[in-house]
Amino acid sequence: MEQNNFVSVGDKMLYQRGPNPNLRGMKTQFGNDFNISNKIINNGNDVFNQYDVIPNAGLSYKLVNKPHKLVVSFDEGDVSAAMILNESFQDVVSVKLLNGIFIESGPADATSSLTIPTFITLSISELNNIYSTSTPAGNSLLDSFALLEYDKTFDRDVTGNTHKVNIYKNKFGINQDIRYFDPPLHSLSQLNVRVFKNHSGEGEITNVGGDFACKLEFLIETKEKMRLY
């Protein structure tokens, strides 16, 4: 006798507790016993996702402070006045010095009085957060933001004559120079920069105190949020 999928209305076991041998469960509709191959049921999550059977929540993300890259370049003639930024940053929560390089002209190696400072002190009144001491003599570390350290690996002779240069560098991975603001700084629209040689008797470098060029790369984070996927 041919077997079918239907249950007789007179089946006395239809409403009884326990298994009903006349029913074969979900396979009567979705299984392979009746030569019906249902890929969505048989193939698991990959097929569910492919056909959007399960709602897709979208890409996962987290909210972070919005970063802004700022690059400032100046020389000895620019330190006597405020440096106005092209764009004002609102609600600033932190300012990080990513990279800094300072190049100054210097005397020849044979000069008997040649003394090279071991670092350059960078003072930025809007960002200063380094504390030091007032003694011994040489207080240029007070009210400062970052130090640029002398690069001994650099060849001072770049011109082939008596003119030499000294290189000073700062990298965040080493120096970790960052200023946090709590509460956030309402607006950052300019930078007032002063540069010091940390060598006894030399002090601040001004437009009459030596030739130099400096480039600073900052990462500024504001209170504004963005999605990071």
- Specify the pLDDT at position 200: 41
CATH number of 62-228: 2.60.120
The mean pLDDT of 144-165, rounded to a whole number, is: 74
pLDDT at 166 over 80: yes
Cβ pair 97, 170 in contact under 8 A: yes
pLDDT digits (tens, 9 = 90+) for 9-18: 566 655 555 5
pLDDT digits (tens, 9 = 90+) for 109-152: 555 455 677 888 898 999 999 887 766 665 556 678 999 998 87
Q: Which of 74-78, 89-93, 130-134, 147-151 has the highest mean pLDDT?
A: 89-93
Which has more pLDDT, 142 or 153? 153
Give 91-116 as a 3 state SS string: EEEEEEEEEEEEEEEECCCCCCCCCC
Share of residues in the chain with pLDDT > 90 (%): 36
Question: What is the domain partition of the chain in residue ranges?
Answer: 1-58, 62-228
- Specify the pLDDT at position 53: 57
Tally of CB atoms within 10 A around 65:
18
pTM of the model: 0.68
Distance CA(177)–CA(100), nearest Å, equals 11
Which has more pLDDT, 58 or 188? 188
The mean pLDDT of 98-104, rounded to a whole number, is: 92
Nearest to 69 by CA among 86, 49, 52: 86
Structure tokens at 90: 């609102």
Distance CA(220)–CA(226), nearest Å, equals 14
